[in-house]
Amino acid sequence: MSDHDPLPGPTSDGTASADPAVDGRARLVTALRRPGSRGQLGAGVLLAVLGFAAVVQVQSNSQDAAYVGARQDELIALINSLSLASQRAENEIARLAETRSSLLTDTEARRTALERARQLADERGILAGTLAATGPGVSVSIEDESGAVGASNLINGIQELRDAGAEAIEINDSVRVVAQTSVRDLQEGGIMIDGTRLMAPYLIEAIGSAPTLSSGLQFARGFSYAVERVGGTVDIEQMETVEIASVREPTSTEYAEPAPSE
């Protein structure tokens, strides 16, 4: 199709009845200056439709240009690779979910163990005297005007309290009684407990079941009897809460080692 063909399409009426004297350019300029006839309205509407459609097409084309021109086998390969990728992703998800659940179980177990260990440490700490403690118990005041109450009486009392299930014992708010505690009389009066010199009156505080502790001290020919016999007085008070604040440095064993458990 060359330029010399009779014009197809819009000009195919073919009758070149133009005035050759009028230049095409001049005609265009004139037409652009004037609003134009009513007939131009239809052309304007069509051109508007064309512009609209062209812009829409360009925009929709720029949105998903990737797959528009693709052939069928390319698309099939694409779909195959996508489904492979999604399968891989699903496998990955399953694997990760498994890891996650195992980690959750792990964490749960570890938390339980930690909880248990912490609880155990607390209990041991209280029993070993490294932690301050509070709870129900008794407060035993021993008046000793004559100075006759000595180490043996106190050891007796501590022993009775332990028998009755005392979990923490403190003397005179300053010495925590533990497994290694030693008590001895001093020549110049008073007693020496774990290197601390204490003078009467003595105050023994113990945490445990208050009635049991109290009766443990008061049974016939027991602690109270012994103290009162040498001239002291014992006053036992059952308390809702006994505060035992004094603690002891944790001691590490030098010779003893844990025996291997079978």
Partner 1 sequence: MIAGLGLVLGVLLGLILQPSVPVWLQPYLPIAVVAALDAVFGALRAFLDGIFDDKVFVVSFVSNVLIAGMIVYLGDQLGVGGQLSTGVIVVLGIRIFSNVAAIRRHLFHA
Cβ density class 83-110: b for 16+ within 10 Å, e for less: eeeeeeeeeeeeeeeeeeeeeeeeeeee
Are the C-beta atoms of 260 and 187 separated by less than 8 Å? no
Q: Shortest gap between Cβ of 74 and partner 1 (angstroms)?
A: 13
Residues pairing with 236 in the sheet:
140
Which three-class secondary structure state does DSSP give residue 7? coil
Q: What is the DSSP letter of 127?
A: H
Nearer CB in complex with partner 1: 61/159: 61
Specify the residue, 25 or 221, whose C-beta has the smaller distance to partner 1: 25
CB of 79 to partner 1, least distance (A): 19
- Measured distance between the N- and C-terminal CA atoms of the chain, rounded to whole angstroms: 104
Q: Which of residues 2-61 bind partner 1 (CB under 8 A)?
A: 2-3, 5, 7-13, 15-19, 22, 24-25, 27-28, 31-37, 39-57, 59-61
Site track for partner 1 across 60-89, x = CB under 8 A:
xx----------------------------
Count other C-beta atoms under 10 Å from residue 21's C-beta: 5
Residue with smaller CB distance to partner 1, 75 or 103:
75
- The residues binding partner 1 (CB under 8 A) are 1-3, 5, 7-13, 15-19, 22, 24-25, 27-28, 31-37, 39-57, 59-61
